[in-house]
Structure 1
């Protein structure tokens, strides 16, 4: 039985990895993967260097599924083995071999175990701005198969597209199967199908796959990845794990275009989207965002999205048809001129206010009013 404190406080944390690390080749047991992912979830997005990441030895023991008093001998063997594990990262013509953990310290007096990542992992875990994947830790902590965990990560990496084509030999190495299931029918039976069942039952995505053959031999797999439906909620009234899941879903969309958005920025946008789109606001918001991101004439797409949603909300409040507001280039409502420079200032202000973490509903409304004043001269 796992410790309630860990589940409630830490399992809802986010795991963020560079895509190069997601696609690395390595073999870790289920327990070893959960230790690594738990540690990664403790990294703050503002960290510019690794720290010693600690947790109570009792909770560490429970995290690994042990009951009763901590079994120090077994715990030490687990961390010693973890320090020996090597991962391989390919970058162009380079092949890098690294260890996950470089130092472990048990302090029986304080009751804590502390672990340090190998410093060479910094480019893959710290200050990530592009080419990264984020997901909620809770989605992997209930998975019992190491293959399921790795399959989940790889599918999350391609979720924003909804499809991924992976060569079979590469996939075997990435999930840690190596040459264990050299015959495809064994790999399908022992890895693919169990992972599909477990991921569908316990995580936020589902997937199907089809086989790609060359001369009747399966050489690659084409995966179709879908997000599980999320019940819409009123963000103004409730902030819980569902909102966090919606943020990660939206983040996956914007990061596909090498953009980033904070959770508080998303909350503000989501409030407007609910007013603009109604019950189906999340799907509409994602579709709208993708259309905006694909336009070459919009310099600040996040700011423009806010502008667009405000236009829709204002028309609804004025009793004017909001469907006249579109994101297509050259339309009457979204005008032909380049997005005004002040929108960049607005986006920067929004980000600055968000990072402070002290805004209230009144602050949000005040920012909206300021934006509306700026927009007046751009209306018909």
Structure 2
């Protein structure tokens, strides 16, 4: 186990409410960090108990019994991954006292959330979370790390409490702020590769939302591809900004060369050739990485494929592009509706609320006035749907794609 191991989790697993202590959280992320990106199935993962205990911060004399207690807890506390799936983290934990070894296996139902992830996942270094001393800080780090490139993330106070597993605790906001938010901020800003500040937003006199403002610590954020050869670049989600950063920081290209590469080649083509460069670097075949990288991209060092394989890959890439566009459209639409509602006056909200109640009068749906501006409540969800259908029905996916194509074309012309 090394601190520079990577932890990769599906975003919907990160978005799952969890009630875990700090040591249990550490056990989970250490185990995840041992998974190889090439694994198709979970394997039994073996650890020296003494090394394992040191990694997760168990220091008392009877470490064997403590580790047993923690693994038992992870097997006996199911959680919901979605409404119809209850699952535990571990399927088994077997101890070998004569060898000082523990062997653990993940629950098979976790496979889609931890193995062979191609999209909608988040990756961070083990070293950036293992030093955190509270489970709240660890969970907030994961939730914010997802939005690192966006730079901000907003939660209702209630939703954040649910995700942290403390929805029934800290009824006084000042206590929640002091014991959870500020404590997590101090730890994350000190020990991890990101830092954050936060703004409090009110509904009336009550603080109902927290907006986190994120920034990367550039010196720490340079996780080199070449220093982690087992993580295939082609398996990651690539955008132009991420590829630009990779080509500069990880493969040593200058700005002019990067501009040339990004304008000349498709991002999937670039990512797959970077995999080849990485593999050859691992074998010690490269003396000048920037020159070799440019040669790989110019010549195409990828394994030649048959026409059928190329058609299949092109089809998969087209599906991925459409999936990415749809996800961006949903996010953009949701943000526009949310901004629209936020800017409504109290009088206008009441008018829209009356309209919503009238529209569902025959459906037996109860609307709670105080919950209308909470998107995570049932009434809030109905209100959002009502506003979306009333004012944003013309903002279709097709229209979004047309606007994006026009914007992209304009940006290319400006360059």
Range of TM-score over shorter length? 0.5 to 0.7
Match of 1:276 in 2: 255
Report the CA distance between 1:19 and its aligned residue: 0.4
Match of 2:383 in 1: none
Q: Among residues 10, 27, 32, which one is paired with 2:19 in the alignment?
A: 27
Pairwise CA RMSD: 3.4
Cα distance in structure 2, aligned partners of 1:216 and 1:102: 47
TM-score by length of 1: 0.67
The reply to whether residue 15 of structure 1 matches residue 7 of structure 2 is: yes
Q: What's the CA shift string for 1:29-49, capped at 9, x where partnerless?
A: 100000000000001111111
Cα distance in structure 2, aligned partners of 1:118 and 1:259: 36
Match of 1:46 in 2: 38
Report the CA distance between 1:181 and its aligned residue: 1.3
Cα distance in structure 2, aligned partners of 1:182 and 1:258: 44
Cα distance in structure 2, aligned partners of 1:124 and 1:13: 18
Cα distance in structure 2, aligned partners of 1:373 and 1:40: 37
Match of 2:237 in 1: 255
Cα distance in structure 2, aligned partners of 1:370 and 1:99: 45
SS of the residue 1:158 aligns to: coil
The reply to whether residue 351 of structure 1 matches residue 275 of structure 2 is: yes
Match of 1:59 in 2: 51
- Pair 344,50 (structure 1): closer, same or farther in 2 beyond 3 Å: closer
Match of 1:3 in 2: none
Which one has a bigger Cα radius of gyration?
2
The reply to whether residue 365 of structure 1 matches residue 291 of structure 2 is: yes
Report the CA distance between 1:109 and its aligned residue: 2.0
Higher relative contact order (CA 8 A, sep 6+): 1
- Pair 165,246 (structure 1): closer, same or farther in 2 beyond 3 Å: farther
SS of the residue 1:255 aligns to: coil
Match of 1:86 in 2: 78
Unaligned stretches of 5+ residues in structure 1: 1-5, 233-240, 278-305, 311-326, 328-333, 375-380
SS of the residue 1:207 aligns to: strand
Cα distance in structure 2, aligned partners of 1:127 and 1:84: 27
TM-score by length of 2: 0.62
1:225-236 → structure 2 map (5 Å cutoff): 225-230=214-219
Q: Among residues 136, 140, 143, which one is paired with 2:125 in the alignment?
A: 136
- Pair 349,141 (structure 1): closer, same or farther in 2 beyond 3 Å: closer
Whether contact under 8 Å (2:16, 2:80) holds in the other structure is yes
Match of 1:99 in 2: 88
Unaligned stretches of 5+ residues in structure 2: 301-415
Cα distance in structure 2, aligned partners of 1:32 and 1:104: 14
Cα distance in structure 2, aligned partners of 1:351 and 1:243: 13
The reply to whether residue 123 of structure 1 matches residue 101 of structure 2 is: no
